[in-house]
């Protein structure tokens, strides 16, 4: 079975004004679709891998045949990262975190405002294309960044929250003002989904 692009869990315009409709259409229908198409093309060369989920492929890149390893890393990573990204956003999202993730943020960062500041600073400093991530390691939340479509899953870490800092994620609306995009993005975070991911990471 070929991997497929799932529809967005909300309308393209649902995250306005923070993320514009035109960006969502381009980002989901073109960029994410390209990752899925190219991942399928790579797996076609090694059909024995087709039974694995994209996450399983990314978690164990050393087991991927060398001739398609880079393609799986890039396009499988792009597919997995974006699938998560759409889910951890929602219309009328944002606000203060709630539940277990709120308590852990307070324990590890002092308060939500400080966490946001540190996360945005890390994401702003990521050179070129990449992602800002929140992961849970050794009982503590950590902010990390990766280049390109690299995933924390490849490092044995389960991502809880992520922001896409490729220019295609924000350039139509924010142009070169990455910091403005980073600040606005918190208005669409789906804390319910983040809490679900934190529960998985905690186990």
Rounded to whole angstroms, how far apart are CA atoms 100 and 85?
Answer: 20
Provide the pLDDT for residue 8.
Answer: 98
CA–CA gap between residue 174 and residue 178 (Å, rounded): 7
Place of tokens 């991997």: 3
Quick one: residue 156, left, alpha or beta (phi over 0 = left, psi -120 to 50 = alpha)?
A: left
CATH of 21-87, one of 3.40.50.720, 3.30.1300.10, 3.40.1410.10, 1.10.287.990: 1.10.287.990
Please tell me the predicted confidence (pLDDT) of residue 160: 98
Query: Can you name the CATH fold of 99-202?
Result: minor pseudopilin epsh fold (3.55.40)
The CA-CA-CA angle for residues 118, 112, 184, to 5°, reads 70
Domain with CATH 1.10.287.990 in the chain: 21-87
pLDDT of residue 32: 98
Residues of CATH 3.55.40.20 domain(s) within the chain? 99-202
The burial of 62, by beta-carbon neighbours within 10 Å (0-12 exposed, 13-18 middle, 19 or more buried), is given as exposed
Q: Tokens 């960062």 identify what position?
A: 109
What pLDDT is attached to residue 116?
98
Written as tens digits, the pLDDT of the chain (203 aa) is: 699 999 999 999 999 999 999 999 999 999 999 999 999 999 999 999 999 999 999 999 999 999 999 999 999 999 999 999 999 999 999 999 999 999 999 999 999 999 999 999 999 999 999 999 999 999 999 999 999 999 999 999 999 999 999 999 999 999 999 999 999 999 999 999 999 999 999 98
CB 143 within 8 A of CB 123: no
């Amino acid at each position: 079975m070929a991997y497929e692009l799932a529809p967005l869990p909300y309308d393209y315009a649902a995250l306005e004004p923070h993320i514009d409709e035109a960006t969502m259409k381009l980002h989901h229908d073109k960029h994410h679709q390209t990752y899925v198409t190219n991942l399928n093309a790579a797996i076609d060369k090694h059909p024995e891998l087709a039974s694995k989920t994209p996450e399983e492929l990314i978690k164990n890149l050393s087991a991927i045949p060398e001739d398609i390893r880079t393609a799986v890393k890039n396009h499988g990573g792009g597919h997995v990262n974006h699938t998560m990204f759409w889910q951890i956003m929602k219309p009328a999202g944002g606000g203060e975190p709630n539940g277990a993730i709120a308590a852990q943020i307070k324990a590890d960062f002092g308060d939500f405002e400080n966490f946001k500041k540190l996360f945005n600073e890390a994401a702003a400093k990521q050179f070129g294309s990449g992602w800002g991530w929140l992961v849970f390691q050794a009982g503590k939340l950590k902010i990390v960044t990766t280049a390109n479509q690299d995933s924390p899953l490849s490092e044995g870490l389960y991502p809880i929250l992520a922001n896409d800092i490729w220019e295609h994620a924000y350039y139509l609306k924010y142009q070169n003002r990455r910091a403005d995009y980073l600040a606005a993005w918190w208005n669409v975070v789906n804390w319910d989904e983040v809490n679900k991911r934190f529960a998985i990471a905690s186990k």
